[in-house]
Amino acid sequence: MSMEIAIPQPVERENYLNNEYGFWSWLLTTDHKRIALLYLVSITFFFFIGGFFALLIRLELLTPAGDLVQADTYNKLFTMHGMVMVFFFLIPSIPATLGNFLVPMMIGAKDLAFPRINLLSWYLYIIGGALMLHCMLTGGVDTGWTFYTPFSTNFTNTKIVEAGIAIFIAGFSSILTGLNFVVTIHRMRAPGMTWSRLPLFIWAHYATSIIQLLGTPVIAITIVLVAAERALHLGIFDPKLGGDPLLFQHLFWFYSHPAVYIMILPSMGVVTEIIACFSRKRIFGYHFVAFSSIAIAVFGFLVWAHHMFVAGISVYSALVFSFLSYAVALPSAIKVFNWTATLYKGSIHYDAPMLYAFGFLGLFTIGGLTGLFLAALGIDVHVTDTYFVVAHFHYIMVGGAVMGYLGGMHFWWPKISGKLYPEGWAKLAALIVFIGFNLTFFPQFLLGYMGMPRRYYDYSHMPEFQVLHVLSTAGSTVLGVGYLLPMVYFLWSMRYGRPASDNPWNAAGLEWKTSSPPPTFNFDKEPVVTWEAYNYDELDAPVHPQEVPVGR
């Protein structure tokens, strides 16, 4: 595999990409790697739809008056931006693409435990996505992605039921992915792959799956109840019957707060792998990083009502939830400290994935620390439902999750495609994304503390906010360019990129011990694991005993 020419090679080893051709070989595949690619294409599609909405939102906010779009249109834009980005991009982003591709390979399995269910989950995602697209094209929804009752049940005229069904179906796709991961990680590990030899990426995905399994059904039933209230005139949250709109919020946030960890935990897993590889070190405090993932998954379920501190819940309940919110901050802090400590006495390489990981560290730290502001009851009263919150969760979910996702895509792209991406462009893109992101969202912290409420399309009553809005809009265009670039050069590299060796980073992990791209069943011979995770010491030793690749 050392040929330098960029033309397709006449003789290629058989791999998962070239063993079959044609439309149906993709649409009926049960190969987790092909399904990962199906997901990759679909979530990229939805990412750019959601991003397009985001740009329109930012353009509208360039001037204080509502002059680009109507109020109704704007309300639909931020609603659809939220729904598409949360349910059709962020939730499946890393688990369904990188996770799908790597979980079996990292533990030495031939496939996920239930390949057909895996394919089914993609189809469910596509059906949900198609419904959502149809819903958007035929009128859309204007409730915000949070569906708060009684606005959603009794007041809006938009397509709540259809959007609800779309999210319900996509939710099942998410549940099935989580189910597949849990069973696979428990049942399909290669001989010798003990729990403490698992890559931390796997631990992160295991924790993610727990949330997907136990949280998603609650939002599913909540959406069913909302749809039933609208379509069948049942009354469960209806204040006219004595129902409590806050009950909806409790049920909604029981899922939707942990959902944030569905988005960020896999990203943490990716970053852990990248930091270990590019500092050529075993991760500092392996067990603490592993268990902090599980701790985040469990504690994540205990804190939901911190979204409701001003909603009218009891003071005592608010105290409990505030306290617990600090408990969930701790494992995240532990992770950040361990990543930092891993760098110590490392041998650090500045390849593109590592730049993304550095970006992740910075942005996630800011996002996490501003979370402390929101968990502090007294401050939350002032900044909740303002741009402070908007900035905070974008720092976590875009700055953190998407940064990690892009880092992971770069890191594993040689394995996925068998091609190398152009390193210079990748570094440039990382820089553009980092700058663009901060320019977009940092001003929003200031806006929020000054009192700019969320979901306003017109701020002509407070023109003093315009300067910061202009900065934010400017940043969003930079960010847009930063996100387009990787897509362009990844596509370019598929045809023109230099072929990748099996292990271009000289990284630890079973996925690097098979060929690039891997064969259909991942390994030509069933791997037997005799080494610890992150054995960079052995990999970097002048003569490494483990260097006999299993996949050959």
* Three-class DSSP labels, 98-134: HHHHHHHHHCCCCCCCCHHHHHHHHHHHHHHHHHHHH
Binding to another protein (CB under 8 A) within 245-284 occurs at: 245-247, 250-251, 254, 279-282, 284
Fill in the per-residue mask, 431 to 450: x = in contact with another protein (CB under 8 A), - = not in contact: ------------------xx
Q: Is 243 in the site for another protein (CB under 8 A)?
A: yes
Q: Which two tokens stand for residue 77?
A: 């834009």
List all residues 6 or more positions away from 132 whose beta carbon is below 8 Å from its beta carbon. Answer: 83, 84, 87, 88, 163, 166, 167, 170
Q: Is 376 in the site for another protein (CB under 8 A)?
A: yes
If binding means CB under 8 A, how many residues of this protein chain bind another protein? 145
Fill in the per-residue mask, 38 to 67: x = in contact with another protein (CB under 8 A), - = not in contact: ----------------------------x-
Helix (H, G, I), strand (E, B) or coil at 66: coil
- 382 versus 427: smaller Cβ distance to another protein: 382
Which window, 39-47, 119-127, 131-139, 180-188, contacts another protein (CB under 8 A)? 180-188
- 229 versus 493: smaller Cβ distance to another protein: 229
Which window, 221-229, 431-439, 478-486, 506-514, contacts another protein (CB under 8 A)? 221-229
Which window, 33-41, 491-499, 511-519, 535-543, contacts another protein (CB under 8 A)? 535-543
Residue 105, Cβ density class (10 Å: 0-12 exposed, 13-18 middle, ≥19 buried): buried
Q: Which two tokens stand for residue 355?
A: 């730049």
By CB under 8 A, name the one of 370, 440, 493, 514 that touches another protein: 370
By CB under 8 A, name the one of 9, 19, 194, 347 that touches another protein: 347
By CB under 8 A, name the one of 314, 543, 545, 548 that touches another protein: 314
List all residues 6 or more positions away from 478 whose beta carbon is below 8 Å from its beta carbon. Answer: 432, 435, 436, 439, 440
Which window, 398-406, 459-467, 471-479, 511-519, contacts another protein (CB under 8 A)? 459-467
Shortest approach of another protein to residue 25 CB, angstroms?
A: 16
- 224 versus 491: smaller Cβ distance to another protein: 224
Asked if residue 447 lies in contact with residue 471, where contact means CB atoms within 8 angstroms, the answer is no
Helix (H, G, I), strand (E, B) or coil at 155: helix
**For residue 509, which of 186, 294, 197, 203 has the smallest C-alpha distance?**
197
For the beta carbon of residue 302, count every other beta carbon within 10 angstroms: 16
Asked if residue 418 lies in contact with residue 346, where contact means CB atoms within 8 angstroms, the answer is no
By CB under 8 A, name the one of 15, 44, 156, 501 that touches another protein: 156
Q: Is 72 in the site for another protein (CB under 8 A)?
A: yes
By CB under 8 A, name the one of 19, 350, 424, 544 that touches another protein: 350
DSSP code of residue 14: -
Shortest approach of another protein to residue 119 CB, angstroms?
A: 13
CA geometry: angle 186, 96, 530, nearest 5 deg: 40
- 131 versus 182: smaller Cβ distance to another protein: 182
Asked if residue 419 lies in contact with residue 493, where contact means CB atoms within 8 angstroms, the answer is yes
**For residue 361, which of 389, 333, 330 has the smallest C-alpha distance?**
333
CA geometry: angle 519, 17, 125, nearest 5 deg: 105
- Tokens 């790597």 locate to 102
DSSP code of residue 519: P
Q: Is 427 in the site for another protein (CB under 8 A)?
A: no
Q: Is 525 in the site for another protein (CB under 8 A)?
A: no
Shortest approach of another protein to residue 300 CB, angstroms?
A: 11
Binding to another protein (CB under 8 A) within 185-214 occurs at: 186-188, 191, 210, 213-214
For the beta carbon of residue 4, count every other beta carbon within 10 angstroms: 6
By CB under 8 A, name the one of 56, 462, 470, 485 that touches another protein: 462
* CA–CA separation, 378 and 450 (whole Å): 16
Q: Is 151 in the site for another protein (CB under 8 A)?
A: yes
Asked if residue 203 lies in contact with residue 168, where contact means CB atoms within 8 angstroms, the answer is no
State the first-to-last Cα distance of the chain, in angstroms, to the nearest integer: 13
Binding to another protein (CB under 8 A) within 482-521 occurs at: 521
By CB under 8 A, name the one of 451, 463, 481, 495 that touches another protein: 451
Q: Is 301 in the site for another protein (CB under 8 A)?
A: yes
By CB under 8 A, name the one of 29, 75, 256, 417 that touches another protein: 75
- Tokens 């070190």 locate to 281
Which window, 7-15, 37-45, 71-79, 481-489, contacts another protein (CB under 8 A)? 71-79
Q: Is 529 in the site for another protein (CB under 8 A)?
A: no
* CA–CA separation, 268 and 283 (whole Å): 13
